[in-house]
Structure 1
Amino acid sequence: MSEQAQKHGALASPLPPPGAAADWTVPQRWEEFSAEDHRVWDTLFARQQSLLQGRAVEAFGKSLDVLRLSRPGVPNFDELNDRLHARTGWSVVAVPGLVPDDVFFRHLSERRFPAGNFIRAADQLDYLEEPDVFHDVFGHVPLLAQPEVADFMQALGQQGLQALDLNSLHRVARLYWYTVEFGLARERGDLRIYGAGILSSFGESHYALESAKPHRHDFDLKRVLRTQYRTDAFQLSYFVIERFEDVLELVLGNDLAALYAELDKLPDLSPEAAQLAA
């Protein structure tokens, strides 16, 4: 199982579960979310919105209005997609849970973001291993309203499909992990968060910027592609890009297939590593 599969679920069976379409999408059925589900969303939203002021990149706060819809609680994807699609051509699609890698990357390549069609329980506010609708929508969607990020995500989808053919999915998984999920950027001289895994996590929003434990490396594409990661704990390494808007150039400005071949001759790096090993 690839590292990307650990997060997005390269499942043993290629067949979608009952009730899902061939692309693993399901109807959102917004009306079936309970009052408790909506309270959990509102609690998480209010807490993170307050916490992230001065912590997230400015574009995240400016784009949060894409989630401020006509009704409180879990966003209705029909209304959300009207706003998001008008900005960048992206839409959010509901899926029952983790999806296979090829399905995930194909959705990205066609400017669709798969979101888990469930929300954590009230006693799981601080941690949920499988990404739910709060992580997927609050963490990812605001920045998908930014053209540079929208284009980067589509390009990553295309790269993921190519990497599957090259047996290099783990390389794209690491790029996705250390940018889209757990990326940090410099903004006005300060560290800021743009990765969805941090933006949607109360604990890691503190830890990523304040803890002395993790390494915070200047962004180096080759090192990112070599560095493993863990899915079950706060990160041991973060990679800091000078401007988060520059992520698109990571894909467009590099021959990733050639890099994969070059790096296959070198050992992987542990996320605990403070110094670059040969």
Structure 2
Amino acid sequence: MSDAISSSAAATEKVKHGLAAGDVAPPSPDWTIDQGWANYTATEHGVWKTLFERQTKLLQGRACDAFVEGMRALPMGPDEIPDFRKLSDVLMKQTGWQVVAVPGLVPDDVFFDHLANRRFPAGNFIRKPHELDYLEEPDVFHDVFGHVPMLMNPVFADYIQAYGVGGLRANKLGMLKQLARVYWYTVEFGLVKQADGLRIYGAGIASSYTESIFCLDDPSPNRIRFELERVMRTNYRIDDFQEVYWVLDNLEELLELDRIDFAPVYARIESQPELQPWDVLDGDQVLHRGTGTYHDAKRRSAAGS
């Protein structure tokens, strides 16, 4: 399996948030724990180093300017897993955010409450050396390398807080699935236009070696201009590369989502049919019409097996 699947699985869990029956009791009411930084082994720091060096080299000319600037400003390098306290000191001064350690998945209301209060919950564990390209649950590399640099950007930082507030409301209204699609297609798998071309800002891509290549270079996926209600109706892939990437003209567009009253939006889309990731509608602003070759071959293979 590729790390595209691993990143998709990780991002899915972050969107779903929920816990399976029989999971252990929370370590604290807000599910936070001590990162236990001093307990990381040389092997674990080595895994971070391998992933960090591989991904930072690949992302040159692929990651958006905000991601690159955030990475440079943070106490995050190749030699060791970052200390959440040091990250939080820098984040707090820049955008008022902090990183808090959690043991894994947390319930919906806990996750949204953390975001609404500018706390980003991150898994404190790291994958094993044999799991470099596959992981079922988000680890410290996905959560910190993928997400935290963008939290240094004031626009993105405000957007994530607004998502937390909106998530608490959507959960009560029974519209969490629709709002989760917005998180998926922006925070995890979003692309943005820059003067020098399309660039990555989504953490699910930024932390995935193979999807960082696929999303920009492969002719198979559609790349379509972001439109809120269209995205809310569109399912997503959790088992492989995305079939569509939604593109912002600029990150400032996310501020517009902060100001929207989502209740009328939910009311409009509730009765409309759901769309599949490969669908292209007449009203879509298509930046690149994909060939569909990659996923079509996967579907034919599955049908023949």
Q: TM-score, normalised by structure 1?
A: 0.92
Which SS does the other structure have where 2:224 is aligned? strand
Aligned-CA RMSD value: 2.1
Which SS does the other structure have where 1:243 is aligned? coil
Instruction: Indicate whether 1:55 and 2:66 are aligned.
Output: no
Return the alpha-carbon distance in structure 2 between the equivalents of residues 276 and 177 of structure 1.
Answer: 23
Pick 1 or 2: higher relative contact order, CA cutoff 8 A, min separation 6: 2
1:273, distance to aligned residue in structure 2 (A): 1.1
Instruction: Indicate whether 1:221 and 2:228 are aligned.
Output: yes
Q: 2:54 is matched by which residue type in structure 1?
A: R
Q: How does 1:22-171 map to 2 (within 5 A)?
A: 22-69=29-76, 72-171=79-178
Q: Is the 8 A contact 2:52 2:77 kept in 1?
A: no
Q: Is the 8 A contact 2:234 2:274 kept in 1?
A: yes
Return the alpha-carbon distance in structure 2 between the equivalents of residues 6 and 63 of structure 1.
Answer: 21
Corresponding residue for 1:10? 18
1:246, distance to aligned residue in structure 2 (A): 2.0
Aligned length: 274
Which SS does the other structure have where 2:252 is aligned? helix
Return the alpha-carbon distance in structure 1 between the equivalents of residues 132 and 161 of structure 2.
Answer: 30
Return the alpha-carbon distance in structure 1 between the equivalents of residues 266 and 164 of structure 2.
Answer: 16
1:73, distance to aligned residue in structure 2 (A): 1.1
Return the alpha-carbon distance in structure 2 between the equivalents of residues 181 and 127 of structure 1.
Answer: 17
Corresponding residue for 1:274? 280
Corresponding residue for 1:232? 239
Return the alpha-carbon distance in structure 1 between the equivalents of residues 52 and 67 of structure 2.
Answer: 13
Q: Is the 8 A contact 2:14 2:105 kept in 1?
A: no
1:245, distance to aligned residue in structure 2 (A): 3.0
Identity among equivalent pairs (%):
51
Corresponding residue for 1:258? 264
Match of 2:213 among 197, 201, 206: 206
Structure 2: gaps spanning 5 or more residues: 1-10, 284-305
Corresponding residue for 2:300? none
